[in-house]
Structure 1
Amino acid sequence: MIKNNKDTAAKYGFKLNMRLLKCSLELLDVDLFAEYMRNNNRSQDDRVSYIITRLLKSNDFIKIEDLSNELYVSRATLDRLMPTIKEIAETYRLGFISKPKYGIFLEGNEMDKRLCLTNYRIASQLDGSLQNKEKDEVSKIQAIVLKSIRKHALFFNDINLYNLIQHIFVAIKRICSGNAMNETPNIKIDHDIQNETAAAEEICDALEREYQITINDSEKYYILIHLLGKRTFQNINVIDEAVFRCVDEIFLRIKAEKNIDFRGDAELATSLALHIQPLLLRLQFGLHQQNPILLQIKREMINGYEIALCASQVFHELYSADVDEEEIGYLAVYFTMALERMKNNAAKKKVAVICSTGRGTAKLIQYKLVQRYKYRIEDILLISLYELETMDLANIECIISSLPLYKDYGIPVFYLSAIVDETFEEVDSFFKSIHVSQHLDLIDERLLLSDVDCKTREEAIRILCDKIKEVHQVDLYDEVIKREALSSTEVGKLLAIPHPYQYNHEHTILAMMKLKKEIKWKYKKVAYVLFSAIPASDKNGVQISETIARISLDSVLLKNMMNDLTKENVEKVFGGLEE
């Protein structure tokens, strides 16, 4: 390998010397060598992406030794990547063929190859890296597409438009390299597509003129289905009746499994219907929708993602179609927004304020409560002692008074001054305890595991579930593995947040684990595991999930907690989040 790369070494400012079976590197130009290292210091994900792309662009077998030389890694390193390559190929319905002396090859139809190639191209460009020549070509394609879709009043959001342009870019490259599509899928489309068809024709005509190529009917159909699958609908009147039935089924499933009733949320129903219409087309055509913020959604929208995962099962039952993680992520956004609306509309308990020194002082106390505890001003009731005697206290959280009350009202009573802030300390403790006490009660020293030695995701889950079984006499392993099979729970930042798919027991369970060494979960490396099992009956479940999300967002906080997994430290972290 060293001999084969002497020219490369000279080009990038270094020299490889070989003497008596010893190798040394001599720097000739520091700047050139630094550029070389930036371009070639690839991570495992980068190597996988490179190999997939090379295989897709090749019409013949590629020897692993050649890939090894191109990536400057050993044969053993590449051999360890082959199971991942094979798994990715299967995701796109491609066959992974390996023959001794010949090498490896990806076999499949042109449409599946393009879908895979485009998605890896999009993923590799999330940092904005694009060669100038490619930028010019993408700009030309974008101008052609924009002109046509504007003419025919078709609307695309930014992500879908970007994905559409990338698919067309790859299609042009494949046609130019002699890999045109020759088969048109026999797929029935139930609604009017006159505008999309006209737009596809115009786009193809413009591309033929620009690139001096011939675009056959199969290629035109390929562009048409991408227009259909990526278009954003804005008019509810064009949505098929079947889509509304699908939304109804989704709401029924969520009510049955999650005990959350969205049936009265017209905004959610409309948003889902507008999203599901093109989603069904993508599922029908096998189009993959890239979601660049999936990990962020998994971290920040835990409850919304779980509801979306539940909803995805409806598509399997109604259409025999599996919705992938990235599509589920988009659905999660709608459900998260609906949960926020539900939370804001929920009747919040009120605080009664009694002040003997006048309305102005009472207003000052009211203002301090709004600022300090984020209450809405309408939830802080300014009342007299006389009014208190006749008031229904069922929806009153506590009474705050500037004068002594000699009667037991069955709810907490606090005495404070509007002037002296120190008198708020007892109130601080009360409001903090409302939100935090249930979290702290869940933290069990026996379920805080440090320096756990394991090699696989399944082994880590087994160790954790065995410990939970020992403490709570409930075996959750099968349900946790079922949930992982639907959508992997690593969320970036070396963290996984596994939980059971179904959990109908009475008690909420929290468990945490720090691994001795990082392991590959499914796609990403994981060093920390934050487990939760929350029954639908737990009224604090949403808040607990939100606390977990806040921990997962803060890398420093996460490390500080996981590096000292003691009950005292974990309680300190959970308590600090609610201050």
Structure 2
Amino acid sequence: MTLVNRWYQILQYFIAYDRLTREELQKITATTSQTVKKTIQLLNEQLDHIAKIIEKEGFYQLKVIDTQQFEAVMNGSLKQHVDLNSSSKRIAVLIDCFIKQNDYIVIDDLSDLLGVSRSTVNKDLRSLKQLLAEYDSTLIGTPNKGLLLKGQEENLRMLYLYHAYDYLEYTPLNGSVLQLIEELSLTKKLDFRMVGLLKKVITFTMKRIHSGNSLSMKIPYYVNYFAADPQLEMLMIALEENYSLTISQYDFDFLCFPLNIFNNNAVDDCFSGEMQAAELFRGMMETIRESVILTLDEQKLFSQLKLHFMFLINRIIFRVQAYDLFGHDFRNKLAFAYELADLGIQALSNFLVKPKQEAEIAYLAVYFELALKNESDDEDFKEIAIICNTGKGTALMIKRQLRNVLGPNIQIVHYSEEAYKTEELNCYFAIFTTIPLEETKVPTIMIKLTDLFNDSWLLGEWKRIIASKAASFKNIQFNFELLAVEKSYEENLTVMLERLTAEKLVDEKFAAYILQKAQEDSAVIENGIAFPHGINNQSDQIIVSIGSYREKVSLEEVELIFLVAIPVNLTIDAEDELLSFYDTIFLISSNPTLRKQVREITSEKDYTCLLTKGER
């Protein structure tokens, strides 16, 4: 593996996992401890003021400094600076050359193009042929003519997108198209990786259509759930006008695939996709039954699974990997369900003639485990429990991450640190927790989450925040408090709580809970931000008090306090608004300029204005 690819391999894991040991990084990269250390050193030099991987107490963590530039990095910008000494760069140039050229190419021309010897070109061509085989494509060699690339158009496009695009330069999309994409990223809840992929797909697809290489047939088993979406129709019209060409339905469906790979999007018409998913599900179960004696209510399983399954099919078709939140122990703790899922993913991959996506196994195993428990238990049960010492807001954040892949059919419940001790936890097949649990209280799989409020949560949502600025707070009542420099964090927090209590906005139980947690430092996140929050019985509204120092303080000290009182019963609108408000906190935490500007704010109007207009 080339160095730049190893960099991206490491960064992808740091987005999925908060902390990694050197041993884990050795396993991920299949290298020695010394190589891991050197790789991280070189990566930090490349990232410069954008991000940094630090070692602390035996763990490596990724700290993002400039979120906007980090988005560009994760969308491939590091590869732009790689020269032709890299085999990955040379192969990217070869792919570009063969895809653009509709005629035979001789090796001497390739040698001149790359500026390397014929022997080096032949070595690169051997590597390219292996890569092409994964995309059902090939190089046809003819004596006295040279080499010609052959393959289905959709496979050639995916080959280019995943193995060439990032290494080459492209003209950016124009402003009107970018604006439509920004609006899509908000309404369809796309994270920055999917937005980046969508831009690449549009840019390259337009070039292919312009050069006369349109798709001539439907991609088998792929369903575009946004074929009739008004926003997508507007985007297609804008592209046709800007590029002076006509986009066929097949090419339009291909353009939309980044929106059709995760089920965090609202889909109204699922009938066609459901029928195809049912067909593939039956084939998958038939293959599983050939290897394992199994008795399951398959109709009920498909009913629970279908939304996840529909998007899973699209991910396999387009070779998109999901992030695995379940960790390394999942396979051993749910061995039988994992085996069933492994057989199922392999069967789907074989049927669709696509590579097996290992990360999908754990998510599919969730549904098999639920089905197995349904067969063995007569009583109804809850599926996933979330136990947090930081309150309901944390549970909402975890829930969002899980539902991004698993979909809305998985039921998720939340327990506080105190409440879980009185619950019967063996009715859950999985427990996500931010605190150590008593072993006797955990009869099922436990997934420990650490450093929850760090950059990894921000990364998945910041693009949406940049687009919307979350400026409408209809269900939140704001208060602003000037903090005294001579007082400690706990003393300033006490003053804020006393003010809210006197105004009858929070109850005494809430105040006592917040002060108790303050002594444990569980509410202090990073970059001088404190985020104490808990349940409040006094009000039906979300109460937010923002405390700030007007003067700059040391980075080691608390600079801003976001005190949040959450009502016992949240409406759907209030819950969405609370999540959007959390996103603004993490955005502010990652941006020194915004932190400085927030310290000067004294009203909700100013706060909203700052989020709407961005940095001043």
Q: TM-score, normalised by structure 1?
A: 0.40
Higher relative contact order (CA 8 A, sep 6+): 2
Instruction: Compare CA radii of gyration and give the structure with the larger one.
Output: 1
Task: Provide the TM-score with structure 2 as the length reference.
Answer: 0.38
